[in-house]
A and B are shown apart, each in its own frame.
Chain A
Amino acid sequence: AQSVSQHNHHVILSEAASLELGCNYSYGGTVNLFWYVQYPGQHLQLLLKYFSGDPLVKGIKGFEAEFIKSKFSFNLRKPSVQWSDTAEYFCAVNSWTGNQFYFGTGTSLTVIP
């Protein structure tokens, strides 16, 4: 079965600091990779996704993620965080043959002004 590991459960940063959230997955086949974000009181929103092609994908609000196939990783990055990035971030994968997503446990990010 597929699984997703997010290494950081809680991250606290000051504004303008750089962010990197780790995500590793286990699956031997072709996968699609996603990062979702849930801002306080809001629904889960798609931040970015990777299907194929350029392993460096750019999403909304200045976020990007890099797919490293050899490491089964899809880490999320942002060069300079803002207070408004305070949210919970979820890494997720699904396979071309399946219709369900496998999520990590989430990383709670708090950005201090």
Chain B
Amino acid sequence: EAGVTQFPSHSVIEKGQTVTLRCDPISGHDNLYWYRRVMGKEIKFLLHFVKESKQDESGMPNNRFLAERTGGTYSTLKVQPAELEDSGVYFCASSQDNGNYGYTFGSGTRLTVV
């Protein structure tokens, strides 16, 4: 089966610009997660979708971040306007169940805000 796919793999943008990250989960996986790793720190939870609904968005850092999952398939994570501290690697993951038994991760999008 195809894995979790993330686009782009790298993005370099200027402070104040907008960036949209995309995640295509494994087909049939209702659960989709976004995580972020700021350099040198731990990977932190951002939010969890079940189909198109946000199940838990407690990890979203602020209202500059907007995640959507229209139709319950792929998801986008938009950062607008981007700040320097938003730099990091954004991981997407999906699971068929509620994720207690592990996820399948994508390769991540490395975002650099300059």
Closest-by-CB residue of B relative to A34 is B102
Taking CB as reference atom, which chain A residue is nearest B99? A99
Contact with B along A87-102 (1 / 0, CB 8 A): 0001010101001111
Total A-B contacts with CB atoms under 8 angstroms apart: 58
Shortest C-beta distance, B17 to chain A (Å), equals 26
Q: Give B40 Cβ to nearest chain A Cβ, in Å.
A: 7
How far, in whole Å, are A79 and B55 apart by their CA atoms in the complex? 41
Residue B91, interface by CB 8 Å: yes
Partner-contacting stretch, out of B43-51, B65-73, B79-87: B43-51
A96 to B106, CA, bound (A): 24
Q: Which residues of A contact B56 (CB under 8 A)?
A: 99-100
Please state if B101 and A32 are interface contacts (CB–CB under 8 Å).
Answer: yes
Interface size class of A (residues with CB under 8 A): 20 to 34
> Given the known A-B contacts A4-B42, A105-B41, A105-B42, are A43 and B103 also in contact in the complex, defined by CB atoms under 8 Å?
no
Q: In the complex, A44→B55 CA distance in Å?
A: 23
Query: Is B8 interfacial (CB 8 A cutoff)?
Result: no
CB contact between B45 and one of A46, A51, A101, A104 (< 8 Å): that residue: A101
Contact between B42 and A43 (Cβ–Cβ < 8 Å)?
no
User: What is the chain A residue whose CB lies nearest that of B3?
Assistant: A43
Within 8 A of B (CB), among A33-60: 34, 36, 41-46, 49, 51
Contacts known (A43-B3, A94-B100); A106 close to B107, Cβ less than 8 A: no
Chain B residues packing against A (C-beta within 8 Å): 3-4, 31, 33, 35, 40-45, 48, 55-56, 58-59, 91, 93, 98-103, 105-108
